[in-house]
Amino acid sequence: MDKSQYQKINDRNAFEYLEIGFLKIICDLFFVIWNLIMVNHRKYIRTPNRAILILVFGLLFINSSQLFAQAENIPIGRDFDQLSWNDFVNRLEKEKSIRFFFEADSIPEFTVHIASDSSTLEEVLQQNLGPLNISAAFDKNGNVFITINKPLQTSFPPNFFDAMDKDIPTIVAPESKADTIQKFLATHKEYVTRTIVVGTKKKGVGKKTATVSGFVKRSEDGLPVIGATLFVEELKTGTSTNVSGYFSLTLKKGKHTLIVSSVDSEEEKYEMELLSDGRLDVSLDKKIYSLKEVVITSEQEDNIRSTQMGYEKLSAKSVKEIPTVMGERDIIKVALLLPGVQSVGEGAAGYNVRGSPADQNVFYMNNIPVYNVSHLMGFFTAFTPEAIDEFTLYKSNIPAKYGGRLSSIFDIKAKEGNKKKFSMRGGISPITGSLMVEGPFAEDKSSYMIAVRSTYSDWILKLIDNYEIQNSKAYFADAVANFSIALNPNNQLKILTYFSYDDISLVSNTRFDYQNQGASVGWEHIINNKHNLDLTFVYAKYAFNEENEELKLAAYKQNYSLNHNEVRANFTLRPNNKHQISVGFNSILYLLDRGNHLPLNDESLTKAVYLGSEQGIETGIYIDEEWTISPLFSVSGGFRYNIYAYLGPQTVYEYGEGLPMEPENIVDTVSYGNNEIIQSYSGPDFRLAAKYIFTPNLSIKASFNQMHQYIFMLSNTIALSPTDKWKLVDSHIKPMKGQQYAFGIFSNFAKGRLEFSAEAYYKRVENLVEYKDGADLLVNEVIETDVLQGDLDAYGIEFMLRKPFGRFNGWINYTYSSSNVLVTGSTPSEMINFGNAYPANYDKPHALNLVMNYKFSRRLSVSSNVVYATGRPVTYPTAIYYQDGVQIIHYSARNEFRLPDYFRIDFSVNLEGNLKKKKAFHGSWNFSVYNLTGRKNAYSVYFKSENGKINGYKLSIFGSPIISLTYNFKLGNYEN
Amino acid sequence: MIQKRYIHQILIFILAVLLSSCVERYWPDLGGAYEDALVVDGIITNNPGPYTVKLSHSSSVETPKYLPYTACSVSINCDDGSTEQLIETDPGVYLSSVFGMQGEIGKKYKIIIYTPNEQTYESPFQELKAPVELADVYYQEEIQPSEDLNHNLEGLRFYLDTKPAVQDTNYFLWKMESTYKFESSYLIRYVYDQRHMSVWPQPDTFYTCWKSEQIPELFTYETAQLSEPVIKHFPLHFVSTEDRELSIRYSLLVRQFTVTKEVFSYWDSQREQNDKQGGMYNKQPYQILGNVTNAKHPGEPVMGYFLVAGVSEKRIFLDRPSLHFYYWTCELTRADFERVGDLRRTSSSEWPIYLTTDGSGRVAYPDQICLDCREKDGEIEAPDFWEDK
């Protein structure tokens, strides 16, 4: 129940404010030291530097005695009677300037009894806690320390200072009880409910209802509070803020009690008198977490009440202690610990969500799509950790404003710059350094946030006693800059730029570089205090270059680039509190340069191949409505209509009627001019979701989604590789269509301390793109001859149990799933696996993830992950035969076998720097061990015929514990 | 389309970066999976016959064995209507007659097999392509850094050049046979046989041998992606000085097969499947079926290939290169001298036992492999083609 009382002392000037804080910290520190000394080393009391002590204590006692009343003397009225301990504490902290310090888990649940109206806090606590063998101690600053058994020493022994210097008149004479109360009331604004008048009588004449709208912001940095709830007590109705922190609420005129709250903020209560339409901006104080509070939560924003399902949200702060490889804080990798998210192997690029291939996901950095999210081929994610605020994963019920991907949306939110003050943070891990700066351009209005990360050297390569590696290079970097500019209260401008870069060279052989770039400019406009208009322009580019000299006679260089140009408009209407309607459109112009395959040098005999370019436009118009039929039952529906056109210039091959698409069956070649429509597709997308709340702790939800996808990745390697290219659907390759049905039960129990959910889904994808065995996709002028389209069938059930709060917190989830692909056709060359269904590469039926965090204190915490999954399906040899003395391996049908099961335990210790409120820098150390047991999990198992013998090999990526130490720092103290 | 992609090396490199990756020998439980299928290994070229077709059964992965498929009836048919019945000369080895069918460029050939269990297998007709001529086979010294050895791996890599082809797109398959001359460590001075030790009259009898081997690697390439239909400096196998192959004189026969696209894609896939395994950036292995199918049950897997190809050959010889050699050689130890006393206890199955002497004439009984080059699968007769310098 640790709250920042200083923010409540608003009748003081800044200097006093700082001074109090400063003294308070020093004072607290001395008491803590004193207690330590008294408890453990009574005989080692040493006289500190006298001059400083005199000065400090002189100031301390003079000032603090004036500022603070003694908490023990606060009168407690009968109105506090019969409150639960927690309510009692909360109310006291809210109404009086008192802070309680205790370990929540150590206090049993009980009800507070108040015997008479004239009790003081000390008496009340004595009466109630005494029998439970719990002690309360008070200091001079309004702090109450609740401890089991022995009371905490809150002041020095009376002769402490005498022993030092009898002449210093620092100790203030005890004040009378009445004086104290008087002083307390005088110096502390008593808790009063603020009454706010919205609108004017004149404007409201003749109307029964009025709309109040505005922003909810965090008081400390002026940033919008997303998802804050506004609840009208009398009407039992309310709303929540959107991504800009904006809300709009239509109510009947008159007096209402408005409660504004959010997950990380203090609740605010207003008496609101609504006269006509008007504006109300709310500033929420950040909740300061005490020992028992949130450390790791993957919040499913109100498990029970929201219509959302198949939805996960992680905030960067909440996952910072989860152990990761090489200490790189990687929020996206943490997604792999969530139910329904898999990858083909450790460190592999690509995420498989609910049985879908990796190219059915899209990653948005705010509005910028990122087409390759891997650093170092997938070991790390290409997002500057310091720049990420949170990310949301939509696995099933994807909002209608998103289209074009069948499986999931990874919506990554960049941090918005602090609008109050300059701040900085950074980190140093074994391989990278990162730095983030943020601050206001104009206070409370406009801010910037710039973050960069880079490998600071590839020194680590030099440590390896291998010629090849010592002479190789690996480099990666990324950067994000986010600008938020308030033009006026109704118009906001948001600008984000994003960049990531990778450069890998191997001695004499191969060099790769690939990069993502992106920029978005968004304008958020509020109309009539009620509706929102968002207009966004997005540019994104993904490009790679490869130089390969491995085979000198065919040394080549190859390039590729994809340009994504998008405009989006979204209009949010709120006709009344029961409906919220979003309408809008987005239109993407894709410009792909399929690249050139050129000889690298004069010695190379490679023929230059120009693969040409591709153009396409994907447009979607949508309407999305959320309708709260009753407080218990609500439905949401979305409709999106997609129109896609594949545009010239292009040369298209025609194949013989009814013949498989193979080069020898080409009968005609048709040329299309610039911007000529070669082929167009259109189709409706549907989103339907319903929620019914049975009890406040139990709800059920169901959803149906239909989506279309017009771009896919040319990839037939097991994991995504940086030379995989995106390709547009064309006249030969049809768009993919996906449908997903989901059903879920959501429950909170153990007084809301545990959240449980079970979600089942069935997914079907038509026209899934697969590749012929052994297809070469890098230099292929006629891709369609290597592509086959089939069906994907996936289903699964995900169980999640979460303890979001408390000293011990974390989650456990288990997923049972299946994902099968069927590619069949009329001739053998149009089939994969002879026309039989086979499990997808990432099909892992059983998956169990356990994430645990235990906080010993605010400074010390430990975390651990336990991960289990069935091994991925593989193709193994089933026979050996000989050809001219050479042994040949004959393989099974596709994915008939499985790798050994995967199992891993990680462990990390996080040590925060001291908790001083006033300090220039705060540092923290993270020590982590990835794969603690050193289990050699199989990444792949393969067979080779070597010198006439078949040898089997197992490759493990992290075959031993990976130990790393990371240092993170920031400006300011622990809290900010 | 063949494209050399070496992304797996990046993977391996990154793994090494992370210091803890490892590749270890591993044998998964294959659950006794075993497909018994007919394996065809046959060839007809424009070189004069006889042509050989070998039929066998596929073997299980755990215990690889060559299992001949006997008592089949095999014939090679030409699209000009001629047919040649092959004769089983050894178990599973079917041979055409010396004066029988001769492969001709531009004609098409196929194979028909009748098995004793009354199944018929057939390949489609394939054209015998005019061979592109081999221009040159040569070698270069190559030094590879080695992690396991305390010295660099030294050796020779062989290369080839072709003559310019007529067509733009040519598909190649190369097979190589190496033959090398090598010597034992010691001359034979005495022989122990029938409980009797006698002086060996000709000390160098088993001193010099020749050994011929198929290079058990696959080499394929196509010219479609080259600016001209000529291959220059195509790397073949590497022979290191860790073995005695290059120690005296080495000969390499390169046979260059000019094949059809179908033949090429079979062998190229096999090559890629064998060479490019292990990384996540490789394609999945898959079932590669040959060109012979069961006439009645086309779904039945038949392995191997009936190859119809134009062939061009080239043989080169080379003497010991001036490299550091690291192959293992025998050294006489005390035990070798002491073992002479145990000769009487040897059994007749071990006889004859060859013995040598050291510089001072002391008799030693070393491992026979140090004296008798046949123990290393050598032949004491030089092959017919052998040319000493």
Q: 840-869 in A: which are within 8 Å (CB) of B?
A: 841
Report which listed range, A517-521, A781-785, A968-972, B205-209, is most confident: A517-521
- pLDDT above 90 covers a percentage of chain B that reads 49
Q: What is the mean pLDDT of residues A946-975?
A: 81
DSSP A281: -
Calculate how close chain A gets to B221, using CA atoms only, in Å. Answer: 11
A·B CB contacts under 8 A: 273
Pick the residue from chain A with its C-alpha nearest to B52: A884
> Would you say residue B253 has pLDDT above 70?
yes
Residue from A379, A466, A509, A605 whose CB has the most chain B CBs within 10 Å, to mutate: A605
Q: Which residue has the higher pLDDT, A748 or A49?
A: A748
pLDDT at A717: 84
Pick the residue from chain A with its C-alpha nearest to B219: A886
Q: Is A185 exposed, middle or buried (0-12, 13-18, 19+ CB in 10 A)?
A: middle
Residue from B18, B55, B221, B265 whose CB has the most chain A CBs within 10 Å, to mutate: B18
pLDDT at B311: 94
> Would you say residue A49 has pLDDT above 60?
no
Neighbours of A696 (CB within 10 A): 11
Polymer length of chain A: 976
Q: Which residue has the higher pLDDT, A654 or A804?
A: A654
Q: What is the mean pLDDT of residues A119-125?
A: 81
pLDDT at A465: 59
Interface residue A718 vs chain B (CB under 8 A)? yes
Q: Nearest Cβ partner of B9 from A509, A721, A891?
A: A509
Q: Dihedral sign, CA of A889, A892, A897, A899?
A: positive
Q: How confident is the model at residue A179 (pLDDT cuts 50, 70, 90)?
A: very low
Q: Nearest Cβ partner of A878 from B4, B61, B278?
A: B61
The ipTM of this complex is 0.87
Identify whether the C-beta of residue A399 lies closer than 8 Å to the C-beta of residue A317.
no
User: Count of alpha carbons within 13 Å of A270, Cβ hemisphere only?
Assistant: 18
Q: 291-330 in A: which are within 8 Å (CB) of B?
A: 325-326
Do A606 and B225 lie within an 8 Å CB cutoff?
Answer: yes
**Gap between the Cα atoms of B111 and B290, Å rounded:** 13
Do B279 and A940 lie within an 8 Å CB cutoff?
Answer: yes
Do A881 and B272 lie within an 8 Å CB cutoff?
Answer: no
Interface residue A553 vs chain B (CB under 8 A)? yes
Angle subtended by helix axes A50-67 and A14-40, to nearest 10: 120
> Would you say residue A822 has pLDDT above 90?
yes
> Would you say residue B7 has pLDDT above 60?
no
pLDDT at A222: 78
Pick the residue from chain A with its C-alpha nearest to B271: A888
> Would you say residue A296 has pLDDT above 60?
no
Per CB-CB distance under 8 Å, the chain B contacts of A877 are: 30, 61
Which residue in the block uniquely carries the two structure tokens 């073997």? B59
**Gap between the Cα atoms of A916 and A925, Å rounded:** 17
Per CB-CB distance under 8 Å, the chain A contacts of B35 are: 878-879, 890
Do A879 and B60 lie within an 8 Å CB cutoff?
Answer: yes
**Gap between the Cα atoms of A911 and B148, Å rounded:** 41
Q: Which residue has the higher pLDDT, A157 or A650?
A: A650
What are the structural domains of chain A?
A: 5-187 (no CATH), 194-284 (2.60.40.1120), 299-971 (2.40.170.20)
Do A460 and B17 lie within an 8 Å CB cutoff?
Answer: yes
Neighbours of B338 (CB within 10 A): 11
pLDDT at B61: 86
> Would you say residue A82 has pLDDT above 50?
yes
> Would you say residue A166 has pLDDT above 70?
no
Query: Quick one: how far is CA B66 from the chain centroid?
Result: 15
Mean pLDDT of chain A: 81
- Ramachandran region of residue A371, left (φ > 0), alpha (ψ -120 to 50) or beta? alpha
pLDDT at A885: 80
Identify whether the C-beta of residue A939 lies closer than 8 Å to the C-beta of residue A956.
yes
Q: Which residue has the higher pLDDT, A423 or A762?
A: A762
> Would you say residue A62 has pLDDT above 80?
no
Q: Which residue has the higher pLDDT, A74 or A337?
A: A337
- pLDDT above 70 covers a percentage of chain B that reads 93
Do B233 and A461 lie within an 8 Å CB cutoff?
Answer: no
Q: How confident is the model at residue B167 (pLDDT cuts 50, 70, 90)?
A: confident
Do B24 and A945 lie within an 8 Å CB cutoff?
Answer: no
Q: Which residue has the higher pLDDT, A258 or A818?
A: A818
pLDDT at A52: 36
pLDDT at A300: 39
Interface residue A774 vs chain B (CB under 8 A)? yes
Beta bridge partners of A112: A83
Burial pattern A85-104, b for ≥16 Cβ within 10 A else e, equals beebbbebbeebbbbbbbeb
Do B22 and A955 lie within an 8 Å CB cutoff?
Answer: yes
Per CB-CB distance under 8 Å, the chain A contacts of B299 are: 834
pLDDT at A464: 59
Tokens encoding B11: 């993977």
pLDDT at A247: 85
Pick the residue from chain B with its C-alpha nearest to A883: B41
pLDDT at B52: 93
Low-confidence winner among A201-215, A280-294, A829-843 (lowest mean pLDDT): A280-294
Q: How confident is the model at residue A681 (pLDDT cuts 50, 70, 90)?
A: very high
Considering only CA atoms, which of A551, A510, A890 is closest in space to residue B2?
Answer: A551
Q: How confident is the model at residue B22 (pLDDT cuts 50, 70, 90)?
A: confident
Per CB-CB distance under 8 Å, the chain A contacts of B286 are: 773-774, 875, 891, 894
Do B269 and A599 lie within an 8 Å CB cutoff?
Answer: no
Interface residue A610 vs chain B (CB under 8 A)? no
List Cβ neighbours of B164 (8 Å cut-off, separation of 6 or more): B228, B229, B230
Residue ranges covered by each domain of chain B: 37-127, 134-329+364-376
Do A889 and B10 lie within an 8 Å CB cutoff?
Answer: no
> Would you say residue A189 has pLDDT above 80?
no
> Would you say residue A796 has pLDDT above 70?
yes
pLDDT at B278: 66
Pick the residue from chain B with its C-alpha nearest to A834: B299
Q: What is the mean pLDDT of residues A78-96?
A: 78
> Would you say residue A303 has pLDDT above 80?
no
Interface residue A607 vs chain B (CB under 8 A)? yes
pLDDT at B163: 93
pLDDT at A262: 78
Verify cis geometry, omega within 30 degrees of 0, for the bond prior to A649. Answer: yes
- What are the angstrom distances between the C-alpha of B177 and each of B131, B216, B217, B250? 19, 9, 11, 11
> Would you say residue A386 has pLDDT above 70?
yes
Identify whether the C-beta of residue A307 lies closer than 8 Å to the C-beta of residue A700.
no
Do A466 and B35 lie within an 8 Å CB cutoff?
Answer: no
> Would you say residue A359 has pLDDT above 50?
yes
Q: What is the mean pLDDT of residues A577-585?
A: 87
Per CB-CB distance under 8 Å, the chain A contacts of B59 are: 879-881
pLDDT at A63: 36
Q: How confident is the model at residue A976 (pLDDT cuts 50, 70, 90)?
A: low
> Would you say residue A452 has pLDDT above 70?
yes
> Would you say residue A463 has pLDDT above 90?
no
What does CATH list as the number for B37-127?
2.60.40
Q: Nearest Cβ partner of B234 from A469, A548, A553?
A: A553
- pLDDT above 90 covers a percentage of chain A that reads 36
pLDDT at A528: 79
Q: Which residue has the higher pLDDT, A147 or B294?
A: B294
